[in-house]
Amino acid sequence: ERLLLSVLPRHVAMELKAEINDKKEDIDVPQDYSQKKMTTRIHITKATLQYLHGDYEVEPGFGGDRNTYLKENNIETFLVLGCSQKRKDEKAAMAKSAMMQRVRANSTEGLMPRWGPDTRFSRTKDSKVFRHMEALNPEDEVDEFLGRAIDARSIDQLRKDHFSKKVDDRFGGYVACALLVFCFICLIQIIIFPHTPLMLGFYITIFIILVSILFICAIYSCVKLFPVALQTVTKKIVQSRTNSTLLTCDREGLVDCVGRERNLSSSLVTLCLLHNLTQSAQDGLTLCPSQPTPCHFPEYFCYSVLLTLLACSVFLHISSIGKLALMVLILVTFLLLVEWPQVALFDNADLLLTANTLFNETATKTCQESVTKVSLKVMTPVILTVFVLALYLHAQQVESIARLDFLWKLQATEEKEEMEELRGYNRRLLHNILPKDVAAHFLTRERRNDELYYQSCECVAVMFASISNFSEFYVELEANNEGVECLRLLNEIIADFDEIISEDKFRQLEKIKTIGSTYMAASGLNDSTYDREGRSHILALADYAMRLKEQMKYINEHSFNNFQMKIGLNMGPVVAGVIGARKPQYDIWGNTVNVASRMDSTGVPDCIQVTTDLYHVLVDKGYHLDHRGLVKVKGKGEMTTYFLTSGPNGP
């Protein structure tokens, strides 16, 4: 921006960048009152305070202590400290509303219109970037930033649908963790509980399902190594939040089935330790049946369910409500099984604990004190319920952090796009003032005021094209708005020239400047445009000169004018550079430039005059030129010149 402000006049740069200086109103204040106001404070009366409606914080001003008029009339005064919190909130809300109304594109090119010669400087105020910049002063920009922070933390934004559509990239890792939990559950049940064919079937089924899901995630991660059909299926599963959640719920249900393996429970429980002890029990309870049955420990069922609930919390991108519903389903199913049809599991475990205590204790009093007073069928639901609530709170916290992280990333992306948008616009504008290689030189390093940028060019073609009779056309009358309409037409003509030079066939050309109604251009100023062997950059400038003649004829036909154009061409070595600490100007110097200017000034209207050196180059390439003869040139004496009439393919 500093370079842009140094290149353009300040009033033009300010019009392009932003109108940030608000007009200040002159307010007449009584002399005796304005002299008594406090330094760096705003001194107001109570009547003024009533119109502020509490938008500003104030403190007593004690104006009567410093002014006799205020004291005699008992006028109460106050000192303004700053905006109140309500006023700050209103500003933040207004900034938030303005920000939400702006429509952002996904790319810089979509946001930024292509700069072309047909884009007038006066039209830049219509662009989206400058409309926004004109609407915000620095204070409003701060308010907008704070508004974005408030917006990112609002409840409505946390429930945006775009978060739920985000792809869960860690789904494969979640499944791997669930598979690890499943292996621990299997290990517990293999060690503790007796083996049955039904248990083995559960193990194999769940293991196959989990490995299949993990394989699907691996296909999604290494998509190019698998067939297209598998790629399509895996993308539909992993990239869809709904599908991946359904697979998660299905896996959790299967793991819970292992934890509730019914083959391990029985309504008839053997309490081998109570065989020779006197202990009261229900009539339907058989302590030592005829056929031996292994003893069971329901605590391990509870442990398996806890591991299953932990596996639910591994899936971070599932919503907290979804996790709660899944965990409640697991909890209710387990409690219905163990509290109703398999309630004997807990009763027998309590009896086992009591029997073990009676067997090891010698005193009845000591036994009663050591026996657990809360049964397992009461303690287990409480433990599982508290565990579910803890996991739900954890899920809520994780979801809130994930949503905030998503919104902050989205905000950072939008701010980065805006910054790139403004940077791209500044770069485009700068490239229309300086050549691209010169602009890149100044953008990549800090320039000192006394630093000189220059470049010696071996063979450059230079053109001067002037509208010879424009001074006769320009008059300042009331009918043409004191000459403004004449300048408007000249601007249209120069813009047409700029549009032609921006064509791809003339990419080797560089516009240097305009001086009044004279247009100056050159070719071959850098390595990318200089053609040492083919001299294509010289031919391109000759073609451009002929295009300008055709364009001027077209303008005369449609504007009912009779503008006459004189064009002068020359070639040779020049020195290009940028001079000036403020408003630096890119220009070229040398004898070649002076002679090209003389070819223009001594030329004939509607003709292209060239020097002898340029004549030899163009003739060798098939261009048609007419001999003019000797022309007296200021500072050079007499020179032989030629008129360029047509290209190698004729008129």
Instruction: Point out the residues that are catalytic.
Output: 598, 634
- For residue 647, give the DSSP letter: B
Angstrom distance (rounded) from CA 84 to CA 82 = 6
Angstrom distance (rounded) from CA 379 to CA 371 = 14
For residue 288, give Cα distances in angstroms to 270, 341, 353. Answer: 5, 21, 16
- For residue 503, give the DSSP letter: S
For residue 142, give Cα distances in angstroms to 82, 231, 262. Answer: 16, 47, 65
Pair type for strands 42-45 and 77-83: antiparallel
- For residue 639, give the DSSP letter: E
Long-range contact set of residues 588-593: C-beta below 8 Å, sequence gap at least 24 = 588/457, 588/460, 588/462, 588/512, 588/522, 588/525, 592/460, 592/462, 593/462
* Torsion of Cα atoms, 7 then 12 then 14 then 17, to 10°: -80
Q: Identity (one letter) of the amino acid at 460?
A: V
* Torsion of Cα atoms, 560 then 563 then 564 then 565, to 10°: -120
- Which strand (E) or helix (H) includes residue 467? strand 453-467
The residues near 639 (Cβ < 8 Å, ≥ 6 apart) are 595, 611, 612, 630, 631, 633
In degrees rounded to 5, what are phi and psi of residue 453? -105, 125
Angstrom distance (rounded) from CA 543 to CA 537 = 10
What tokens were used for 420?
Answer: 């790139």
What tokens were used for 272?
Answer: 């081998």
Pair type for strands 637-646 and 624-633: antiparallel
The residues near 427 (Cβ < 8 Å, ≥ 6 apart) are 439, 443
Angstrom distance (rounded) from CA 243 to CA 235 = 10
- Which strand (E) or helix (H) includes residue 588? strand 585-589
For residue 423, give Cα distances in angstroms to 112, 375, 413. Answer: 11, 72, 15
